[in-house]
């Protein structure tokens, strides 16, 4: 049985706003789950309902199979880290770490042992006497994480904990949090709007869109086998290219180019005659020039962005646009005409109406 179960969870705020719709999810003990989605899609609301900081309007929340809707945050055995570090400014790092244990009346020598062990995991041993104001953003966030993990709770919740850090600190803390999870094995739900964090940290990713949960999967599943256009476009940078069109004689057109769908050898496409279909391919799967077993497209290069390890090439044909991710040595000239290929094996097709993968 799952450790945490969310069954048809809804959140309707007192002002009538329906922020979370029929949220269903089962989380196994020890899993690292990431909720990802753009601002306002209901990630924090869902996390706060799990934490017990927000009432659940309807549905069941179970911990270890037992209904927990009515339990307060303390009884749920959760620890939470927020975007704002929420440290006690007048207390040293040591006391910040020790505080929750002191409240619980834990023996001082036990507290000391735990504080030292936690500080060691987080690289804070040399900073125990410092006050929060004398720490960098990354160090403060580490103290906040330390305060959460020092209590041996079953559920560890983090809401955008890295968004106040600069890019470099974010990368460091990202791997540290993954490492801490490996050591503690605590069931973790991590909220972010950053798909890179989701891809690198998660056992499973929960993409949310406007209060609705999207099909859940591992990072590999979401990248290689996305269930719908939204998930396909959300995971990957630059996002997947989509060409929408009506199928005529088994063909779709991309500007002046025609795609013969029969070449894919997929019988499902025959039922789309006269209907809308979405042709998708990832920028990194496009190849400049012509290769075999691929669709060829002629297009115009509108813009190139050299990023060091790759170049993003923005191309257009008629009204249609796409981004190609190519080796910087192969960067085409801006305003030139070029040809690129999309291997048949890298093509995604989605239903134009439901936007679900075919």
Q: Is residue 44 near Mg ion by the rule CB under 5 A?
A: yes
Which range touches ligand ADP (CB under 6 A), out of 11-19, 78-86, 228-236, 251-259? 11-19
| Alpha-carbon separation of residue 72 from 50, 55, 78 (angstroms) | 10, 10, 10
Which is closer to ligand ADP, CB of 48 or CB of 140?
48
Residue 52 contacts which entry, ligand ADP, Mg ion, none (Cβ below 5-8 A, type-dependent): none
Which is closer to ligand ADP, CB of 188 or CB of 304?
188
Which is closer to Mg ion, CB of 82 or CB of 99?
82
Which range touches ligand ADP (CB under 6 A), out of 13-21, 24-32, 92-100, 273-281? 13-21
Q: Which of residues 44-83 bind ligand ADP (CB under 6 A)?
A: 44-45
Contact 312, 323 (CB under 8 A): yes
List 9, 42, 287, 341, residue binding ligand ADP (CB under 6 A): 42
Nearest distance, CB of residue 43 and Mg ion, angstroms: 5
Partner residues linked to 120 by β-bridges = none
**CA 97 – CA 66 distance, rounded (Å):** 31
Q: Is residue 341 near Mg ion by the rule CB under 5 A?
A: no
Which range touches ligand ADP (CB under 6 A), out of 36-44, 244-252, 270-278, 300-308? 36-44
Nearest distance, CB of residue 80 and ligand ADP, angstroms: 14
Handedness of CA 152, 46, 74, 174 (dihedral sign): positive
Q: Is residue 192 near Mg ion by the rule CB under 5 A?
A: no
Q: Is residue 267 near ligand ADP by the rule CB under 6 A?
A: no
Which is closer to ligand ADP, CB of 84 or CB of 258?
84
Helix/strand/coil for 105: coil
| Alpha-carbon separation of residue 188 from 18, 194, 198, 258, 282 (angstroms) | 26, 17, 13, 47, 30
Q: How many residues does the chain have?
A: 358
Which range touches ligand ADP (CB under 6 A), out of 39-47, 167-175, 254-262, 263-271? 39-47
**CA 125 – CA 127 distance, rounded (Å):** 6
| Alpha-carbon separation of residue 242 from 37, 43, 56, 323 (angstroms) | 20, 26, 37, 10
DSSP 208-233: EETTEEPPPB-HHHHHHS-SBHHHHH
Which range touches ligand ADP (CB under 6 A), out of 12-20, 112-120, 223-231, 347-355? 12-20
**CA 208 – CA 227 distance, rounded (Å):** 13
Q: Give residue for tokens 């030139």.
A: 336
**Interacting residues toward Mg ion by CB under 5 A:** 44
**Interacting residues toward ligand ADP by CB under 6 A:** 13, 15, 17, 19, 37, 39-45
């Amino acid at each position: 049985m799952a450790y945490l179960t969310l069954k048809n969870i809804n959140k309707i705020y007192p002002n009538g706003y329906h922020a979370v719709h029929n949220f269903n999810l089962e989380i196994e003990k020890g899993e690292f789950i990431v909720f990802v989605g753009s601002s306002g899609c209901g990630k924090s609301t869902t996390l706060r309902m799990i934490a017990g900081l927000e009432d659940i309007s309807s549905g069941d929340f179970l911990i270890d199979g037992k209904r927990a809707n009515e339990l307060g945050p303390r009884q749920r055995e959760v620890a939470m880290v927020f975007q704002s570090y929420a440290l006690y400014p007048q207390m040293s790092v040591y006391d910040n770490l020790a505080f929750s244990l002191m409240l619980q009346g834990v023996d001082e020598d036990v507290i000391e042992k735990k504080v030292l062990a936690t500080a060691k995991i987080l690289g804070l041993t040399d900073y125990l006497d410092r006050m929060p104001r004398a720490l960098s953003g990354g160090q403060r966030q580490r103290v906040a994480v330390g305060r959460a993990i020092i209590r041996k709770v079953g559920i560890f919740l983090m809401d955008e904990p890295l968004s106040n850090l600069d890019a470099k600190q974010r990368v460091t803390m990202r791997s540290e949090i993954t490492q801490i999870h490996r050591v503690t094995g605590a069931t973790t739900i991590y909220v972010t709007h950053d798909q890179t964090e989701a891809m690198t940290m998660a056992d499973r990713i929960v993409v949310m869109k406007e209060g609705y949960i999207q099909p859940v999967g591992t990072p590999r599943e979401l990248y290689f086998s996305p269930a719908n256009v939204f998930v396909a476009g959300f995971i990957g940078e630059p996002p997947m290219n989509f060409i929408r069109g009506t199928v005529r004689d088994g063909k779709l057109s991309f500007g002046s180019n025609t795609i013969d769908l029969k070449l894919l050898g997929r019988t499902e496409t025959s039922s789309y005659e006269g209907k809308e279909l979405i042709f998708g391919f990832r920028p990194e799967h496009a190849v400049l020039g012509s290769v075999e077993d691929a669709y060829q497209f002629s297009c115009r290069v509108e813009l190139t962005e050299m990023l060091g390890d790759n170049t993003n090439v923005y191309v257009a044909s008629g009204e249609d646009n796409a981004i190609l991710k190519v080796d910087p040595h192969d960067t085409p000239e801006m305003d030139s005409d070029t040809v690129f290929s999309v291997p048949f094996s890298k093509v995604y097709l989605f239903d134009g109406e439901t936007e679900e993968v075919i």
